[in-house]
């Protein structure tokens, strides 16, 4: 079965490609970057904001993974209906889509289609921890709202749920919330990471105003800062409620944050 993966070079897409390749599937990886290479995948260049660039990508494809945002500032894609039309005409049967904060035109077009669609809706990615690398190297993490709780999920588990939905029957018409196996506060995350890298890390709580100032100085766009303040200061219940989707769908327990830290410790220098 040939499977087309959009967002293939991203945090989640890269894991989907690797898992499908290791299962022996024929994977076509969509990217805007003509230089991109992913082991075992056929690369195809196209831009989801311009469906006229996607005609070749769909040739012979039976299943497809989609993203719902455009790389330019994570705005919702507005080309959902055209992409779904191309997929339908090409004979695609199953489609997964990585859900963001709000539903986009991609999910809406899938709901209106005859395709067997599955929305994979993760909570906070464990991979966001990479943003702590400079702070960890400096020995002190500065964050607002440190008592916030998160059921953060390993990217490989988000991918494993998508892989099941792309390759097995029975997942059509489902929206799967995907979480990790435990709820952690920021001090608990820092302690787990500190153990994995074998070094003390200090944690300092910032006020909202201090966090805004710091993130602006770090170069974050104003709308991303607003989003982070909202997500950290008012985490919706779904963000700190463990669900059993990973085990239910994949048959394997969700990976813990300690495992993520052990796998990625070298990146923290
Ligand atoms: N981070 C979190 O905690 C979190 C939690 C829940 C949901 N989410 C959602 O997850 C999504 C982000 O996923 P991610 O972190 O895996 O993404 P990412 O690492 O930022 O990667 C973005 C990927 O999308 C591709 N892409 C972007 N715009 C494109 C376009 N116009 N045409 C074709 N490809 C395009 C990029 O491909 P090229 O650059 O190779 O072209 C790249 O492969 C967002 O929707 C976010 O709302 C994130």
Decide if pLDDT at 248 tops 90: yes
User: Does ligand 1 come within 6 angstroms of the Cβ of 68?
Assistant: yes
Query: Do both 113 and 61 map to the same domain?
Result: yes
pLDDT of residue 114: 96
The mean pLDDT of 41-56, rounded to a whole number, is: 96
User: Does ligand 1 come within 6 angstroms of the Cβ of 178?
Assistant: no
Nearest protein CA to atom 1 of ligand 1, as residue: 125
Query: Do both 118 and 141 map to the same domain?
Result: no
97-108 per-position pLDDT tens digit = 999 988 999 999
Confidence of residue 68 (pLDDT cuts 50, 70, 90): very high
Decide if pLDDT at 1 tops 90: no
Query: Do both 111 and 148 map to the same domain?
Result: no
Query: Do both 81 and 213 map to the same domain?
Result: no
Confidence of residue 74 (pLDDT cuts 50, 70, 90): confident
Query: Do both 83 and 140 map to the same domain?
Result: no
Query: Do both 102 and 140 map to the same domain?
Result: no
Query: Do both 217 and 149 map to the same domain?
Result: yes
Instruction: Give the total number of structural domains in the chain.
Output: 2
Query: Do both 200 and 104 map to the same domain?
Result: no
Query: Do both 190 and 106 map to the same domain?
Result: no
pLDDT of residue 71: 83
The mean pLDDT of 200-206, rounded to a whole number, is: 98
The mean pLDDT of 51-66, rounded to a whole number, is: 96
* Domain-located, residue 248: no
Query: Do both 28 and 56 map to the same domain?
Result: yes
User: Does ligand 1 come within 6 angstroms of the Cβ of 159?
Assistant: no
Query: Do both 21 and 73 map to the same domain?
Result: yes
The mean pLDDT of 206-218, rounded to a whole number, is: 96
The mean pLDDT of 157-182, rounded to a whole number, is: 98
pLDDT of residue 55: 86
113-153 per-position pLDDT tens digit = 999 999 999 999 999 999 999 999 999 999 999 999 999 99
User: Does ligand 1 come within 6 angstroms of the Cβ of 71?
Assistant: yes
User: Does ligand 1 come within 6 angstroms of the Cβ of 48?
Assistant: yes
Decide if pLDDT at 72 tops 80: no
Decide if pLDDT at 16 tops 80: yes
User: Does ligand 1 come within 6 angstroms of the Cβ of 47?
Assistant: yes
Give the mean pLDDT of the chain. Answer: 96
State how far the Cα of 208 lies from the Cα of 120, in Å rounded to an integer. 31
Last residue of a domain, one of 77, 105, 122: 122
* Domain-located, residue 208: yes
pLDDT of residue 173: 97
Query: Do both 148 and 260 map to the same domain?
Result: yes
To test ligand 1's pocket by mutation, which of 9, 71, 99, 156 has the most ligand atoms within 8 angstroms of CB?
Answer: 71
* CA 67 to ligand 1 center in whole angstroms: 7
* CA 6 to ligand 1 center in whole angstroms: 9
pTM check: above 0.75: yes
CATH number for the domain harbouring residue 16: 3.40.50.720
Name the residue range of residue 186's domain: 124-153+179-241+256-269
């Amino acid at each position: 079965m040939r499977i087309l993966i959009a967002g293939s070079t991203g945090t989640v897409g890269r894991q989907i490609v690797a898992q499908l390749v290791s299962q022996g599937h024929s994977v076509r990886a969509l990217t805007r970057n003509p230089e991109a290479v992913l082991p075992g995948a056929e690369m195809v260049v196209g831009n989801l904001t311009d469906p006229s660039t996607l005609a070749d990508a769909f040739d012979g494809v039976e299943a497809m993974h989609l993203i719902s945002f455009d790389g330019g500032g994570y705005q919702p894609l507005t080309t959902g209906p055209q992409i779904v039309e191309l997929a339908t005409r090409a004979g695609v049967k199953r489609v997964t889509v990585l859900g963001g904060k709000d539903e986009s035109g991609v999910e809406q077009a899938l709901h209106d289609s005859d395709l067997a669609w599955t929305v994979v809706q993760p909570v906070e990615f464990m991979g966001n921890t990479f943003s702590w690398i400079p702070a960890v190297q400096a020995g002190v993490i500065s964050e607002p709202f440190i008592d916030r709780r998160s059921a953060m999920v390993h990217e490989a588990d988000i991918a494993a749920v998508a892989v099941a939905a792309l390759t097995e029957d029975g997942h059509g018409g489902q929206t799967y919330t995907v979480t990790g196996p435990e709820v952690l506060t920021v001090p608990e995350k820092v302690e787990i990471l500190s153990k994995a890298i074998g070094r003390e890390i200090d944690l300092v709580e910032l006020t909202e105003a201090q966090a805004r100032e710091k993130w602006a100085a770090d170069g974050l766009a104003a709308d991303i800062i607003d989003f982070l303040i909202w997500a950290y200061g008012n985490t919706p219940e779904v963000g700190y409620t463990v669900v059993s989707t990973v085990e239910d769908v994949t048959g394997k327990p969700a990976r813990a944050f300690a495992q993520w830290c052990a796998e990625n410790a070298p990146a923290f220098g």
